[in-house]
């Protein structure tokens, strides 16, 4: 997936693997890979605290998926009438046979009114380009808190049902 990173004060787009790997790992391991980073643990968790200082990213999107409780179809969630936005994240570097690779996790926060009907958490949404730039250039944590935007959703096929990286059908 394409993400935008701030790599030593150079903002650039890179291909990265979702599921953040431990910084500097010598190979991919699902044992330590983490899908989401809870906003409440960013400053207390050693893994996130270190990445928070210098490895921030955004994931440009037009929507994201949410899997409600079992028995309900997944939803595609849109913000502000379907206009592009970004999800806040943290990225890390790991190595694949000596080749440098990037991975990332999306930062999550408590669900807003709309999302709480489907899940207790939601990704941190960075709507404006100014807020996205502030996040990448190490603005304060207050950038991630209290953002409220209008969300809508539409049901998807139940064939999209698993977020784990070892899917054989290419949907993950």
**What is the model's pLDDT at position 146?**
57
This prediction has a pTM of 0.85
How far is residue 44's CA from residue 114's CA, in Å, rounded to a whole number? Answer: 28
pLDDT by residue, tens only, the chain of 172 residues: 999 999 888 999 999 999 888 887 787 777 778 889 999 999 999 889 999 988 999 999 999 998 887 777 889 999 878 889 999 999 999 888 888 899 999 999 999 888 988 888 999 999 889 999 999 997 788 888 756 678 899 998 755 555 544 444 344 4
114 is written with which tokens?
């709309």
**What is the model's pLDDT at position 158?**
59
**What is the model's pLDDT at position 147?**
61
Q: Enumerate residues 6+ apart whose C-beta is below 8 A from 101.
A: 16, 17, 93, 94, 95
**What is the model's pLDDT at position 67?**
84
How far is residue 80's CA from residue 84's CA, in Å, rounded to a whole number? Answer: 9
Q: CA–CA distance from 141 to each of 7, 10, 42, 125, 135 (Å)?
A: 19, 21, 9, 13, 8
Phi-psi region of 24 (alpha: psi -120 to 50; beta: other; left: phi over 0): left
For the chain, the C-alpha Rg in angstroms (whole number) is: 16
How far is residue 8's CA from residue 5's CA, in Å, rounded to a whole number? Answer: 9
Cβ-contact 94, 107 below 8 angstroms = no
Largest Cα–Cα separation, the chain: 45
One of 3.50.50.60, 1.10.1200.10, 3.90.1680.10, 3.40.50.10800 is the CATH number of 2-62+84-113+124-146, namely 3.90.1680.10
């Amino acid at each position: 997936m394409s993400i935008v990173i701030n790599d030593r004060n150079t903002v650039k787009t890179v291909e990265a693997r979702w599921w953040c790997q431990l910084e500097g790992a010598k190979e991919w391991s699902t044992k330590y890979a983490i899908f989401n980073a809870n906003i409440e643990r960013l400053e207390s968790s050693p893994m996130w605290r270190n990445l928070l200082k210098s490895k921030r990213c955004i994931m440009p999107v037009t929507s994201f998926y949410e899997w409600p409780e079992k028995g309900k179809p997944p939803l595609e969630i849109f913000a502000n009438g379907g206009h592009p936005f970004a999800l806040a994240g943290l990225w890390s570097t790991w190595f694949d046979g000596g080749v440098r690779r990037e991975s990332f996790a999306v930062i999550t926060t408590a669900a807003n009114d709309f999302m709480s009907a489907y899940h207790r958490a939601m990704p941190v949404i960075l709507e404006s380009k100014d807020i996205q730039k502030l996040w990448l250039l190490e603005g304060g944590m207050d950038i991630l808190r209290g953002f409220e935007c209008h969300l809508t959703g539409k049901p998807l096929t139940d064939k999209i049902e698993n977020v784990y990286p070892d899917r054989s059908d290419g949907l993950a």
